[in-house]
Structure 1
Amino acid sequence: MSTAPRIGCVPYLNAKPLIYGLENEVVFEHPARLAQRLAARELDTGLVPVVEAFRRPGYVIVDDISIACCGPVYSVILAHRVPLQSLREIVVDASSGTSALLLKVLMQKRFGLKLRYVTESLADTRSNADAQMLIGDQAIRFHQAHDDWQILDLGQAWSDWTHMPFVFAVWAAHADYLELHALVKKLAAARTAGCAHIEDIIAREQGGDAAFRRRYFGQNVYFNLGPREKEAMRLFRQLLIEFGELKAPYELRFAK
């Protein structure tokens, strides 16, 4: 008899369309903790930072589903008080993985800056920091509440530099999970339903600005994983290898 898959997801607005109808079956964790639990086999699949799929050859990536952007993402930002060229240090959210590495790649490769990175829990933003990287709903709230900071949107910065989309998160699963095919179908059905019911997802969210959420889903993030997104993933992976953040690559595997 098959058992229900153990599914982990991040608790952010941008993940809601991927778990539509599965909300009561999902364990919610922040990205770093979610990656740890998947690696420890406490979960069968998780919506993890894309770097986790690069690091673990025992994972397969669920095909055609991701959290991606092509241009401004709005929810992954570098907030800074002084011009970029004047920065010496950036405070990075400890819950981030992929976004922190994207920031380092952009700062050094695109802007020519070698900076010091301090990893902290940013449940409360540091008022004395000259620059801080924020992700998810916290980044959205900060973006909307602080017009006295300069904002670098990391999705836009990547797109301007590479002319490619950026994939932030994917469903990764253990390749030896016995019910893998059924799991892939379940996640694909949830994504299809979620994208068809964006207005319902917007209405369910408490507080905030429904018009903003509509723009966010319509203009900032999307949920496909096609050839262009896979090409962008491989480019990012190669850059991380050059940075010494990853070992030599293995072939990424996708489950349909």
Structure 2
Amino acid sequence: MSSPRLYGASWFLNTRPMIYGFRNDPWFADKISLRLDLPWESDQLLEAGKVRVAQIPSIEFARKSAKYELIPAGCISSPGPVRSVMLFFNEALTSIRTVAVDTSSRTSVMLMRLILKEKFGVTPELVPMAPDPVAMLQKTDAALLIGDTALKTTLSNPHSLDLAEEWMDLTGLPFVFAVWAARREGSDQTDVEYLNRSLEMGLDHLDEIANSFVKESGWGADAAFFHSYLSESIRYPLNEEAEAGLAEFFRLAFMHGYLEDIPEIRKTGDHGKIYTPAGLN
């Protein structure tokens, strides 16, 4: 019997539908071994060859596209508002000079830079800090928070900018925060089938995931709050619209000098076929 395939993902709430099957379906027991880390840590593990497949920040996929292939089996995207990638601020956006950035973020930092530059003409100094909104806003003009910390903070701090909503306003496209990836020639159709099966199970159990997180989080929010986040704020299909959003993100990041090249993208099973972002489909 072959060893289980080792996959890497995060423990954030928005990831749970994607890995639901791996954690709850006995059918996967001898097929998949799952480890949970921060997204940037999963990227490091993938680059080092320590996991077969990983859910990684989309900007890290862009930076390492010559090494990686995109697995067409879901993503974490949002048409906005997303509620879990938020810029909280003290004063007017145009007066922002310093931003405390969550040290666990990658793609969101790039998205924030693009939004502030494109829409508000602001290029702030970034100050890496632990994701503590009170401490961040005491030290800097604004604070970038992601994931469950951002989602929780929206319940009590109304002075914020939803970055996915701003992206949709700027481009008319959803924003893709994370994708499944493997090293070049490192994934196959079986991986695609496993990832899709796990996600399909998760989407069928959103009520269970939301109810469970009510107890786990202890935030005082009800299940409807978490269910609407998973079913409305987050989108999971890596469809044409999501790919177009991904392509536009890569294009703007290159145009503003944050990427050295516009990534060339290979997908699982394409046997050497390369896509430029404008021609992902």
TM-score clears 0.5 = yes
Measure the CA separation in 2 of the matches of 1:125 and 1:180.
45
Alignment of 1:30-179 (within 5 A): 30-56=38-64, 57-123=66-132, 125-126=134-135, 127-128=137-138, 129-147=140-158, 150-177=159-186
The answer to whether the 8 Å contact 2:21/2:199 transfers is no
Letter in structure 2 aligned against 1:81: N
Give yes or no for the alignment of 1:17 onto 2:17.
Answer: yes
1:2 corresponds to which residue? 2
Number of aligned residue pairs: give it.
Answer: 253
Per-residue deviation, residues 197-255 of structure 1 (Å, max 9, x unmatched): 11121122223421101111222101011111111111110111122221223421222
How far apart are 1:62 and its partner, in Å? 1.4
How far apart are 1:145 and its partner, in Å? 2.5
Letter in structure 2 aligned against 1:239: L
The answer to whether the 8 Å contact 2:75/2:178 transfers is yes
Alignment of 1:198-209 (within 5 A): 198-205=206-213, 206=216, 207-208=218-219, 209=222
Letter in structure 2 aligned against 1:152: L
The answer to whether the 8 Å contact 2:82/2:162 transfers is yes
1:229 to 238, 242, 249: 242
Letter in structure 1 aligned against 2:79: C
Which stretch of the first structure deviates more once superposed, 203-212 or 41-50?
203-212
Give yes or no for the alignment of 1:219 onto 2:241.
Answer: no
Measure the CA separation in 1 of the matches of 2:134 and 2:184.
38
How far apart are 1:14 and its partner, in Å? 0.3
For residue 118 of structure 2, give the secondary structure of its aligned residue in structure 1.
helix
How far apart are 1:173 and its partner, in Å? 1.0
TM-score by length of 1: 0.93
How far apart are 1:123 and its partner, in Å? 4.8
Question: Structure 1 residues 124, 113: closer, same or farther in 2, change over 3 A?
Answer: closer
How far apart are 1:195 and its partner, in Å? 0.8
Structure ranking higher on relative contact order (CA contacts 8 Å, 6+ apart): 1
Give yes or no for the alignment of 1:187 onto 2:198.
Answer: no
How far apart are 1:125 and its partner, in Å? 4.2
Stretches of structure 2 that go unaligned for 5 or more consecutive residues are 25-32, 270-281
For residue 19 of structure 1, give the secondary structure of its aligned residue in structure 2.
helix
Which stretch of the first structure deviates more once superposed, 125-134 or 47-56?
125-134
Question: Structure 1 residues 203, 131: closer, same or farther in 2, change over 3 A?
Answer: same
TM-score by length of 2: 0.85
**Regions of 4+ moved over 3 Å:** none
